[in-house]
Amino acid sequence: MILEGQIRKMITEYKKPVQYYLNLKNDFLDVNAQLGKKIRIYHDHNECLGCGLDKEIFRMGFCKNCFFTLPQANENIIRPELSTAHLGLEKRDLEWEKKFELQPHITYLALSSEVKVGVTRVSQIPTRWIDQGATSAIVLAETENRYQAGVIEVALKEHLADKTNYQRMLKNEVPDVDLIAQKDLFKIYIPEEESIFYSTDNTLYQFNYPVLKYPEKIKSLNLNKQKEYEGILTGIKGQYWIFEDNTVWNLRGHEGFYVILTI
C-alpha cells in the first residue's frame, strides 16, 4: 500500500494500549495495525502547516515566516506564564489568543522519563500526556486560564523537570514513582495566590503503548539529512515510531513534511 500526505501529529485514543492514527489528507492509517511490517518513508517536499507552501520547515511545522507571524506559534504556547490575553493585551491576534488562553487549563505532573511538571488545556486531557509518551499523569491544579497554570508551573519548575528526556522515554527507562504521593509532596510549592486552584481529584491516568520491542540505543531519523528510510516498525510511543534497527522517527518533529509511505 502507498500513502502520501503532509505529516501532522498522530491522532490518539486512550485505550489499552494507546491507539494511533496517522491522518494524511486523503488517507487515514491505523498505525497500530502496521506493527511488524516493513515501512518505507520518502520525503518528497514540504507543506508548511500555516501557508501550505513548499518552504523549509523552521519549527512546529511552520516555515520561518509563519512561525514568526501566526498566533499558533506565539511565545505563550511554549511559555504559558507569558500569556496576556487575560489582561486584554495582544501578542499577535487578541481574538485568537483569548479563545486559546481564556479557557480552563491544568498544571500536571507526568512521568515520562522522570517526574515533570507541565501545562495544558483541560480539553487536551489525556492527549497531551500520550503525545509525551508519559507512563502516568495526574492533575495538580485546575485553573481558569493559561496564565494562572503557567505561574504554578514556573514555581514547580524550580523543584521538578519540565522536559522529557526522549531517549529514556523511548528506551522505557522509567522509574517506579507514585504520582499521588508526589502530588502531595509538591503541592506546597504552589504560590499562595494560586493555591485555590489545587485539585483534589487524584485520578491517576496510566498509559500502555503498542511496543513489541524497545530500542537499546537511539538513532534519530532526520528527513532533512536523509530523504529516505526503510525499516520494520516495532513500536509507537509518544509521537514516535520505533523501528527494529533502533531508529526512531519523531512525527511531531516532522510536521509539515510531505511524505510518501510504502508499506
Question: Which residues of this protein are in contact with Zn ion, per CB under 5 A?
Answer: 48, 50-51, 63, 66
Nearer to Zn ion, 67 or 207 (CB): 67
Closest approach of Zn ion to the CB of residue 54, in Å: 10
Cα angle value 142/115/137 (rounded, 5°): 45
Give CA–CA dist 120/150, Å, rounded. Answer: 9
Task: Give helix then strand counts, H and E, for the chain.
Answer: 7, 16
Nearer to Zn ion, 50 or 118 (CB): 50
Nearer to Zn ion, 69 or 182 (CB): 69
| φ/ψ of residue 91, rounded to 5 | -100, -55
Nearer to Zn ion, 43 or 105 (CB): 43
The H or E element that residue 21 is part of is strand 19-23
Nearer to Zn ion, 46 or 135 (CB): 46
Nearer to Zn ion, 3 or 51 (CB): 51
- Per the DSSP assignment, residues forming a β-bridge with 260 are 4, 42
Here the cell at position 169 is: 522515554
Closest approach of Zn ion to the CB of residue 93, in Å: 16
Closest CA to 145 of 126, 127, 110, 119: 119
Give CA–CA dist 235/141, Å, rounded. Answer: 32
- What ranges in the chain are assigned the alpha helix state H? 64-67, 75-78, 94-101, 127-132, 146-157, 166-170, 179-186
Closest approach of Zn ion to the CB of residue 99, in Å: 21
Nearer to Zn ion, 73 or 242 (CB): 73
Closest approach of Zn ion to the CB of residue 47, in Å: 9
Closest approach of Zn ion to the CB of residue 120, in Å: 25
| φ/ψ of residue 254, rounded to 5 | -120, 20
Closest approach of Zn ion to the CB of residue 64, in Å: 8
Closest approach of Zn ion to the CB of residue 257, in Å: 13
Residue 53 CB burial class (10 angstroms; 0-12, 13-18, ≥19): exposed
